[in-house]
């Protein structure tokens, strides 16, 4: 098993993105004067969910891709999955703030969600094919 250097590099980028999302939530809390929860503030609720969604999906995706890379998965597949995941997770918060039922919402939020699901599915299937 080799060190998953590509995944490690992208994990660092994702950590910085998560810090940015967290700071965005903190700024929203400060401007809305809310210490806990969303205080009924719709904008803050969207920020919190964008950050939470990131925290729910990115760790599993990184784990799957890291296992794939460490198990000898090709660098093109690994890099491709990580780039798609990065783009998806950057787009998603923009879609969360977009007006409801707009092309911007569907492209950014919907596209981010679908791309994240695709990364999870492709990495999982690739791992199953390597192990099975």
Question: 59-68: per-residue pLDDT in tens?
Answer: 999 999 999 9
What pLDDT, on a 0 to 100 scale, did the predictor assign at position 132?
56
CATH number at 62 reads: 1.20.120.550
Predicted confidence (pLDDT) at residue 1 exceeds the cutoff of 80: no
Predicted confidence (pLDDT) at residue 21 exceeds the cutoff of 70: yes
Distance CA 75, CA 7 (A): 10
What pLDDT, on a 0 to 100 scale, did the predictor assign at position 130?
87
Average pLDDT for residues 70-77, to the nearest whole number?
Answer: 95
Number of domains observed in the structure of the chain: 1
In this prediction the pTM is 0.92
Distance CA 47, CA 117 (A): 21
Q: How confident is the model at residue 85 (pLDDT cuts 50, 70, 90)?
A: very high
Distance CA 119, CA 100 (A): 26
Q: Give the domain extent around 29.
A: 5-131
Q: How confident is the model at residue 129 (pLDDT cuts 50, 70, 90)?
A: very high
Q: pLDDT tens-digit profile of 102-114? A: 999 999 999 999 9
CB 6 within 8 A of CB 78: yes
Predicted confidence (pLDDT) at residue 54 exceeds the cutoff of 70: yes
CB 113 within 8 A of CB 92: yes
Distance CA 116, CA 114 (A): 5
- Residue 106's alpha-carbon distances to 8, 41, 102, 111, 114, in angstroms, are 30, 22, 6, 7, 10
């Amino acid at each position: 098993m080799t060190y998953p250097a590509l995944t490690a590099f992208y994990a660092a980028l994702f950590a910085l993105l998560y810090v940015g999302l967290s700071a965005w939530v903190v700024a929203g809390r400060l401007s809305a004067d809310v210490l806990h929860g969303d205080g009924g503030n719709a904008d803050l609720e969207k920020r919190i969910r964008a950050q939470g969604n990131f925290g729910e999906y990115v760790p599993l995706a990184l784990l799957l891709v890291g296992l794939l890379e460490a198990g000898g998965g090709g660098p093109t597949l690994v890099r491709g999955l990580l780039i798609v995941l990065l783009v998806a997770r950057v787009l998603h918060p923009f879609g969360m703030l977009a007006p409801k039922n707009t092309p911007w919402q569907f492209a950014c939020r919907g596209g981010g969600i679908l791309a994240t699901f695709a990364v999870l599915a492709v990495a999982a299937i690739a791992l199953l094919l390597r192990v099975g």
